[in-house]
Structure formats: structure tokens, C-alpha cells
Amino acid sequence: MKKSRLKIIKATNSQTSVPIASLRATDEIHLNIEDYFLSQGLYYDRRKNYYKNLGKSADQIISIPYLSQIITAIALREPNNSRARPSTLIKNDEEYMKIFSKEYDVDIYTRGVQIQKLVETSLKTFSPELSTSQIGDLKFHVAMFLVADALKKLTYGPNEIKNIDISLITPEKITQTITTVKEIYDSLGSTNKVAKSQDFVTAIFGKLGEIIAEHREFLKKQSLASKKDSESK
DNA sequence: TAAGTTCGTCGCACAATATA
DNA sequence: TATATTGTGCGACGAACTTA
């Protein structure tokens, strides 16, 4: 009965435009996220404008589509889709389940928001100054880069995000990442089209691959050096 | 409140895949 | 192998937001 009612609501919704995200808002996972967000000083906009009407500050209110964009970018490693198809990310059930899964630790959603907010703050104060459209084109790619770099992995499971130590994502680290990502963006033509393309993501992974390989090399040298050191004693 | 700017969605074109 | 179907990338345009 409940299911058929939802079907009718969803069918009717193809005529009157209620954001699709609002139709998912009663799913249990969103209740869990909302509770957890409250404990972290964030307001999850499960019920549209509920916290806005309570006078909560806009930068603490996280909408369902925005959270979907963040998770698509950093957990699913598809920042181009976060940029290109913001509202259609959760239209398809399969895609939706990849973003909002009970298998995920609810903590990954807060970490994602925290990282994304740090990135956006740094992008706004970046020098040379970036236009808002450039910020829009880069923000999800930079966040994904930081996550993969922090984990030192090109492929990782969404739950691994909770292992990231946010305190290691310093403003300097973010600025350095923005510079790297922007260089790739510029080399491809620095357009909105680039930001929505798979090529940009592939190029970013290429760069990440180099960084991760260098890091492994560094660890190897370090362990050899400490081995030699202990042998000489 | 009007003008300018930005963002999100729609729909077209093309590509990839399935089916007869 | 031709045709139909589905998926993807992209540009254009309108809605929403911002600013003066």
C-alpha cells in the first residue's frame, strides 16, 4: 500500500515539479543522517527549508542534492557528474543506492561535507582570484583529489573516507591541490565543458597516480634508511 | 526593482549496446 | 548486419540569485 502510494506520488510528480530529492526524504537513511548531522552542528535539509525557517545559517544547512553531489564526487569518484547533472544524480534508483546506502558509515557524510566546505572556502580566497564559474567547475574535482591523496589510493571504498584525518587537510594542502587541479583544467581548455567531461577526471587520476607512486618510493627509501641506521648501531 | 550573473535543466546529437 | 533502444556529452536557455 505504502509502495503503491509512493508510485502514484512519483508518477504525479512527473506532471508537477517537486524536486525528486524531496520524495526520498522519508527514507530511513535520511533520518539517520539528519540526526547525526545535528550532533555535528550541521542541519540536513531533509524537509525543504525547515532549518532555514528556524533561522539557521545557510552555510550550516546541507540539502539532499548538495550531499548527493559531494558523495558522488568523493566517494564514487565522479566529480564530473556532480558538476554536470546535479539534480539527476538521485533520479535513478541504482545511482541513488550508490549514494545513500545503509552499508555506509553515516560518518562519511559529515566528513564529506567538512572536506567540501574546506575546499570551497579555500577556492574563494585562492590567489589569483577565481571566478564563481571556475569555482563551480573545480570544487568537486579538488575535493575528490584531496580524498584520494589523503588515502593514497586511486580506488577506495566509500567507508574508507571515515579514516581520513581532517586536521591533515590544511589550507596549504588545499591551496596546493587547487593549483594542481587548476593546471589540469587549464591545460584542457578551462571551460564548463571540461568540468563535465570524463577526460578531466582521467587526467586528475593520472596526476594522482604519479603522486601516489612518489609517496610509495619515499616510504621505501625511508624504511631502507631506517633499516641501515639500525644496522649501523 | 532592474540588470547582471550564475546555476541547473532540458533536449539534441552522437555513441554504444541490444535485438531481430 | 540493419535497426531500435539506451546512455552520454554537450550547448543553450531560463530560473534563481545577487548586487547596486
pLDDT one-digit tens code per residue, A3-48: 333 333 334 333 333 444 455 667 788 888 888 888 888 878 776 6
* Percent of chain A clearing pLDDT 70 (strictly above): 73
A110 sits in which H/E element: helix A107-124
pTM over 0.75: yes
How far, in Å, is the CA of A85 from the C1' of nucleotide B11?
A: 14
Q: Give the Cα separation of A69 and A16 in Å (integer).
A: 24
Nearest to A66 by CA among A39, A46, A92: A46
For strand B, which nucleotides have at least one atom less than 7 Å from a protein CB? Answer: 5-10
Cell of A123: 577556492
Identify protein residues whose C-beta is within 7 angstroms of any atom in strand C.
Answer: A 80-81, 84-85, 191-193, 196-199
Q: How many domains does chain A have?
A: 1
Q: Which residue has the cell 633499516?
A: A227
With 60 as the cut, is the pLDDT of residue A70 above it? yes
How far, in Å, is the CA of A152 from the C1' of nucleotide B3?
A: 48
Domain housing A41? 2-232
